[in-house]
Amino acid sequence: MARPDTARLQATARACRVQIIRMLAHAGSGHPGGSLSVIDILTTLFFNRLRFDPKRPDWPARDRVVLSKGHCVPALYSVMARAGFFPESQLVTLRKLGSPLQGHPDRTALPGIEAATGSLGQGLSISVGMALGLRLADSSARVYCIIGDGESQEGQVWEAAMAGPKLGQPAHPLDNLCLILDYNKIQLDGFVKKIMDLEPVVAKWKDFGWPVLEIDGHNVEQIDKALDQAEATKGRPTFIVAHTVKGKGVSFMENDPEWHGRAPKPAEAIRAIREILGVSDAAWGDYVKTDRATAAIVAELERLEKT
Amino acid sequence: MPPKASRAAFGEALLELAATDDRIVTVDADLSKSTMTIGFAKAHPDRAFNVGIAEANMVGIGAGLALTGKVPFVCSFACFIVGRFETIRMSVAYTDANVKLVGTHAGIAIGEDGYSQMGLEDIACIRALPNIPIIQPGDETETKQAVAYAVGHQGPLYLRLTRQALEPVSPPGYRFQLGKSVVLRAGTDVTILASGGTVSNALDGATRLAAEGVHAEVINAACIKPLDEELILRSAGKTGHVVTVEDHSVAGGLGGAVAELLSEVLPTPLRRLGVSTFGESGDPRGLYAKHGLDPAGIADSVLKFLNR
């Protein structure tokens, strides 16, 4: 792979963060914390890695992303819209009656979603099965599965962890599978460490037979390099521990369990968008005059405030 | 045809169909010798996957295989596979993955192993999911046709199979169709709907009833979902009395499905025969007698029901 255009990916991730905040504010519910922690990973995957065709979401040779931590689907919707699976204007229908943008991923409702997830712990098993099916078909397509740290408390994850490096051996090893842990250290009820600590997480996965890479999950260059290494690793699937910050990019959301599953109110959303774009409070009025797309999103949120 | 367990007929059918259809794969959880996929696994070791004793993972891997175009038969005892209901609900049903769920060792007829290995609630659970047909074949012929149907059916499906041998009950020239049931014995006084392991007992019960002057119509309800509503309503309208006989909990199984149908469309006096307690160890015949699912028990219940 060519070196990533870091600035472009960072700009895309910022735009997606804005959309995450926007759609959650319009929905009035949802999960900003984990959506913001996983977005740099999803951005790097969709815009510097995956082979896909939004016009043919069922193209057999496509790479697959299974977002096992399904509650963070606003992040996936934001990259899918940007990639052309559906118009960005549809993002504000998130969680609304009749929308294909269900509160958690629904494969049958939205082309491009690979599996229904949201009941935690199931995505890795599905991904192992997909990787195996692709290997049996001699396909070069790859499977990327993203799990959460709280999710890793589910027993099924460890059933699949045991199977990943062994299934299909020796003829069809699942080296087409890459598992990424969005390690944001927080779950619904509080800090993972306090509720049911995962540590030592690297040692656990190594003992289960997975090559493990550890990266900063907000650094697109590190993400991309790790994906390169995963692709170059033969004979076994790879596990990437992506250290992330829950709520990344919004000061009042970062590292606060309260923002696991509460949507920002319109005024909070506007402040969050300003922070994501790196604009000071004082400069905000002038900035909005120069950025018409953001101005439209802000105006929409101001109208929402009044209703 | 000698009696044959539907799990054995399934294993044979799978092997036969797999010879010409390389989409077929199996996923087992250390019970392939019991679910009878072992023959397939020996013939096609590259298409048979044993994930160890990890049923949730088995179901999820099946879903993933289906999503890449394979036709996976995901097999375990009925209680263990449906015990992973939440994985079936999300990874198979809601995902609409083309997975063929196979639950063997249905009911108390497994005998000596006792309740922990008996599938007694599986139909009730799967019935609650909107997109999974439930097929419980009554003999070897029907099983083999149902397996062939399952391969061609687009979408998830649940096949419920027995450990014990089943007497042949299918009429000559029988063709399995989803949502269709078949009248095995015509009658006018009472409709007996049976499925799987209880079909031949229902027929034998009807023979006993005939000796008492009661003419029972016996229907093989292999399709528990969708029910053959038309046939059941027609028969119920004719006889005015319906009895369901199943090796499953009386709650939520065939009896439950028929009760729902009749009470909404054609209220008809109904008796549901089945299992209303936990199972226990014992010989299969003794267990059927204890729960009133043997020919004598069925005939007895029908006579009481009809006040004869």
pLDDT digits (tens, 9 = 90+) for B229-238: 999 999 999 9
Chain A residue whose CA is closest to B91:
A116
A167, part of any domain: yes
CATH of domain B182-305: 3.40.50.920
Q: A145: distance to nearest CA of chain B, Å?
A: 12
Q: Please give the tally of structural domains in chain A.
A: 1
Residue B65: its chain A contacts at CB < 8 A? Answer: 129-130, 132-133
Same fold for the domain at B4-166 and the one at B182-305? yes
Per-residue pLDDT averaged across B254-276, rounded? 98
pLDDT at A45: 98
The answer to whether ipTM exceeds 0.95 is yes
A-B CB pairs within 8 A amount to 115
Q: Any idea what the CATH number is for the domain that residue A56 is in?
A: 3.40.50.970
Average pLDDT along chain A: 97
B141: left (phi over 0), alpha (psi -120 to 50) or beta: alpha
Residue B56: its chain A contacts at CB < 8 A? Answer: 121-122, 125, 155-156, 159
pLDDT at A307: 82
A1, part of any domain: no
Per-residue pLDDT averaged across B198-223, rounded? 98
Q: Establish whether B167 is a catalytic residue.
A: no
Per-residue pLDDT averaged across A67-73, rounded? 98
Q: Is A125–B87 a contact, with Cβ atoms under 8 angstroms apart?
A: yes
Q: Is A119–B56 a contact, with Cβ atoms under 8 angstroms apart?
A: no
B60 reaches A (C-beta below 8 A): yes
Which of A115, A132, A171 faces B95 most closely, judged by CB atoms?
Answer: A115
The phi, psi pair for B119, rounded to 5°, reads -80, 105
Closest to B102 in 3D by CA, of B130, B68, B72, B124: B72
> pLDDT tens digits, residue range A155-202?
999 999 999 999 999 999 999 999 999 999 999 999 999 999 999 999
A249, part of any domain: yes
* CB contact at 8 A, B229 and B262: no
B161 reaches A (C-beta below 8 A): no
Closest to A143 in 3D by CA, of A176, A183, A106: A176
Q: How confident is the model at residue A2 (pLDDT cuts 50, 70, 90)?
A: low
Residue A163: its chain B contacts at CB < 8 A? Answer: 51-52, 54, 57, 61
**Domain residue limits at A88:** 6-306
A166, part of any domain: yes
B4-166 adopts what CATH topology? Rossmann fold (3.40.50)
In the sheet that holds B270-275, the strands lie side by side as B182-185, B216-220, B190-194, B242-249, B270-275
Query: Domain residues of chain B, as ranges?
Result: 4-166, 182-305
Closest to A71 in 3D by CA, of A120, A16, A125: A120
The answer for residues whose C-beta is within 8 angstroms of residue A71's C-beta and 6 or more apart is A30, A31, A34, A103, A104, A118, A261
The answer for residues whose C-beta is within 8 angstroms of residue A152's C-beta and 6 or more apart is A181, A198, A201
- What percent of chain B clears pLDDT 90, i.e. is strictly above it? 99
> pLDDT tens digits, residue range A220-244?
999 999 999 999 999 999 999 999 9
Residue B70: its chain A contacts at CB < 8 A? Answer: 133, 136
Partners of B159 in beta bridges:
B102, B135
Q: Is B49–A107 a contact, with Cβ atoms under 8 angstroms apart?
A: no
Q: How confident is the model at residue B308 (pLDDT cuts 50, 70, 90)?
A: confident
pTM of the predicted model as reported, rounded to 2 decimal places: 0.97
Res. A1: pLDDT tops 80: no
